[in-house]
Amino acid sequence: MLSNRLPPGWSEKVRASKPTAQKRPDGTLEITSPDGTTARMVFEAKSRVFPRDVAELKNRFERYSSGPYLVVAPFLGPSTRRRLQEENLNYVDTTGNVRLVIARPGVYVETAGADTDPFPSELPGRSLRGPKAGRIVRALCDFPAPFSISDLAVKTGVNVGYASRVVDWLAREALLTRAPRGPVQTVNQPQMIRRWAEDYSVLKSNDARSFLDPRGLENLLESLRKSRFKYAVTSSLAAARIAPIAPSRLAMVYVDDPERAAASLKLRPTDAGTNVMLLDPFDSVVFDRTWKEDSITFVAPSQAAVDLLTSPGRAPSEGEAVLEWMAGGGRK
């Protein structure tokens, strides 16, 4: 995989360590440029690498060599690749995810392979798709730690076994810390929501319907203040109250009955010029832990953030602003 991505005239040679060698990396890779300059890089080959493994990998490398270093695996997920890059570790997987940065001889290779594991584990709880996983992420981000797995199960309405499997996997992904067989101790909320966004999409996970309010978004907000149906405003209108970046042009609103809500709000169905989207939610969790401002009900910041990260246009930038606000201790 790496050989096919090196420039013409470059070559490589792999040397494996002896199986009896203790605490040594798995081998070395020598990369030689056309002028004969050679870089010697130690590598570790792993069947699977989780984000929480990266720090220990780097420590192991540094005990043996001053670098550069290379991590090899069948598949490296987006979160793992981000951690490897943060630690200045090169990597290659068999799907084509490659990052190779060497100062001498100077070479920079970066290519994208798969973002989804083509060799998924048979173990359950390795995805954040679906309502149960969404409820767990929301609870982990909405409630302050520490809390026990049984408490998490009660808060989310899932069984303890499922909650425990998901939490164990999230711990391996370095998105939270958990005491051995004990409670969740800390949660990396921004990274947790970014990881959720890899398996969730506001326009695909929910039943999204397009409408036009001819009088604009201010009229929509005024209509919502007077409404009698269940709703929660998300996306840009929510971000504008939390971490404003720019004026909102599109409203997204969760409702429990889109047809009744559209009639009550006097919205026109449309395929062009949409300024309102009504969302029939993937799960009732979108209505949990809402908050009010100016007599308008908004989704929890964690829900607004993931909806923004998976929306088109400038919305992901607004989502990052909400995550920054959350990381700073903001609460609604």
In the chain (332 residues long), the average pLDDT of successive 10-residue segments reads 83 71 76 88 88 87 88 90 92 93 89 83 68 96 94 94 92 89 92 94 94 95 95 96 88 94 94 92 96 96 97 93 89 68
Predicted local distance difference test score (pLDDT) of residue 66: 86
Predicted local distance difference test score (pLDDT) of residue 122: 47
Q: To which residue do tokens 């991590």 refer?
A: 71
Predicted local distance difference test score (pLDDT) of residue 328: 85
The span from the CA of 76 to the CA of 49, in Å, is: 7
Q: Is the peptide bond before 105 cis (omega within 30 degrees of 0)?
A: yes
Predicted local distance difference test score (pLDDT) of residue 121: 59
**Would you say 83 and 18 are in contact if contact means Cβ atoms under 8 Å apart?**
no
Predicted local distance difference test score (pLDDT) of residue 181: 79
What pairing do the DSSP bridges indicate for beta strands 176-178 and 107-111?
unpaired
Residue boundaries of the structural domains of the chain:
3-111, 131-197, 202-327
Neighbouring residues of 134: CB distance < 8 A, sequence distance ≥ 6:
128, 196, 200, 282, 283, 285
Q: Would you say domain 131-197 falls under CATH 3.40.140.10?
A: no
The span from the CA of 85 to the CA of 81, in Å, is: 6
Neighbouring residues of 282: CB distance < 8 A, sequence distance ≥ 6:
130, 131, 134, 205, 206
Predicted local distance difference test score (pLDDT) of residue 252: 97
Predicted local distance difference test score (pLDDT) of residue 21: 52
Query: Within 10 A of 205 (CB to CB), how many other CB atoms are there?
Result: 20
Note the helical H segments in 7-129.
54-64, 78-86
**Would you say 96 and 81 are in contact if contact means Cβ atoms under 8 Å apart?**
no
| The overall pTM is greater than 0.75 | no
